[in-house]
Amino acid sequence: MNNEMLTPVLALASWTLVMMIWMYVTRIPAMNRAGIDVKAMKEKSEMDVLPRAVRQVADNYNHLHEQPVVFYALAFYCHLAGTADAVNVGLAWAYVGLRVAHSVFQALVNFIPLRFVLFLLSALCLVAITVRNLTLL
């Protein structure tokens, strides 16, 4: 069985775990410095006192659980439906590369107009995969 379409899935799942580690490596020390007592927290807004750089990493980790869900569904669809051709695999890798770039950019720079371009380009990869699969029905 050809697994070319699943390798980008593994890559993005792995990247999500990298971002999770990055989030905790930055967030826990920042919470300690800010005197946040997790056991006494009642609202997420109490995390707003953390430095922006720390919040940006956490925000990106959350973003990796939003739109990428569509990517995972499309990738598995392509794999199971037999539509994992070179174009769809290429689009999947482009999506992963753009999401990694989006993560790094959001965590380190976070200039929203450019970050939006990365987001939009990655979304267009998903649209292209979807349209290609719909035309193959």
* 39-95 pLDDT, tens digit each: 777 777 778 899 999 999 999 999 999 999 999 999 999 999 999 999 999 999 999
Evaluate if pTM is beyond 0.95.
Answer: no
In a domain, 24, yes or no: yes
* 94-105 pLDDT, tens digit each: 999 999 999 999
> Which amino acid belongs to residue 13?
A
Q: Domains in the chain: how many in total?
A: 1
Place of tokens 């770039």: 101
Q: Indicate which CATH number applies to the domain containing 122.
A: 1.20.120.550
In a domain, 40, yes or no: yes
In a domain, 77, yes or no: yes
pLDDT(38) > 90: no
Comparing CA positions, the residue from 81, 110, 4 lying closest to residue 101 is 110
Structural domain of residue 64, as residue ranges?
6-135
